[in-house]
Amino acid sequence: MELRNSIDGGRGLYDTFVQLMDFITGIFKTSLGRKYLMAITGAGLFGFVVMHMLGNLLVFAGPAAINEYAAKLQGLGPLLWVARIGLLGMVGLHIWSAIKLTSENREARTVEYDAAVEPVDAHRRGDIVAKFAARTMIFSGLIIAAFAFYHLAHYTWKVPQINGAGADFELFYVAADFTTTLEGGEEGKDHADIFKMIVTGFKVPAVSVFYVVAVGLLCFHLSHGLSAMFQSLGVKNKNIAPWMDRFAVCASALIFLGYISIPVCVLAGFIK
């Protein structure tokens, strides 16, 4: 009590501070707390994946639509940086808790079973053995993270050496009508030609194949994660669990189709 009074004159600030620290410790330093972090950041990143896909699909509405959309996003200024830092924070927390949880899981069983799972009721094997997607979350996740880094270098930082098209996306600008390609545009003055970047980028078969594989892996990751996050947040039960599982599978499939439709259509010549 004396310590408390000496710190804040008995106004209760000390208690509030201690409570807040306990709350933070309870989240970051416990198994269940880290599972909350996984679920919440996972849900946030899922939201980003959906919005990004919807934005990408504007490519089907023609160059003007997607270029104008991109210009509007770029025009958000500080808000754009808030979103970027928020996303980076979520990615960081998601990966940190994933690595922490997975290493704890590894330590929790250092000796594996010798026998393959063969229950006396053979049909129950599928219930007893964890699904492949659930067993490989850390691998699918880390590969997706590596892909996301490459994808940023490809289209955001526009590193010419990795696009495989022999072009410099940095020089792709579009006129004020958002449709006509502009030669010799200036950064900060003219808008980037996103449409041309997409077409040029995905015309390279290897780039498209890598993209499709990465998106496939992302959707595989989501097929488990989207249903497990409800459990981690404590909102799953046997009545709604089948619907959550269906939601996870359907959302993953839709996201897969939505994303891959673009490289497929570029390679097939539907978008040019």
Binding site for another protein (CB under 8 A): 18-20, 22-23, 25-27, 30-36, 101, 104-105, 107-121, 124-125, 127-131, 134-135, 137, 224, 227-228, 230-238, 241
What's the min distance (Å) between Cβ of 3 and another protein? 17
Cα(177)–Cα(113) distance, integer angstroms: 65
* Residue 64: its H or E element: helix 63-74
Cα(114)–Cα(95) distance, integer angstroms: 31
Question: Of 225 and 263, which has the nearer Cβ to another protein?
Answer: 225
Question: Of 37 and 90, which has the nearer Cβ to another protein?
Answer: 37
What's the min distance (Å) between Cβ of 250 and another protein? 18
269 and 203 in contact (C-beta within 8 Å)? no
What's the min distance (Å) between Cβ of 20 and another protein? 8
What's the min distance (Å) between Cβ of 14 and another protein? 14
Question: Of 22 and 168, which has the nearer Cβ to another protein?
Answer: 22
What's the min distance (Å) between Cβ of 43 and another protein? 14
Helix and strand tally (H, E) in the chain? 11, 3
Structure tokens at 116: 């393959």
Cα(251)–Cα(257) distance, integer angstroms: 10
Question: Of 133 and 218, which has the nearer Cβ to another protein?
Answer: 133
Taking residue 244's Cβ as centre, other Cβ atoms within 10 Å add up to 18
Total length of the chain = 272
Question: Of 117 and 176, which has the nearer Cβ to another protein?
Answer: 117
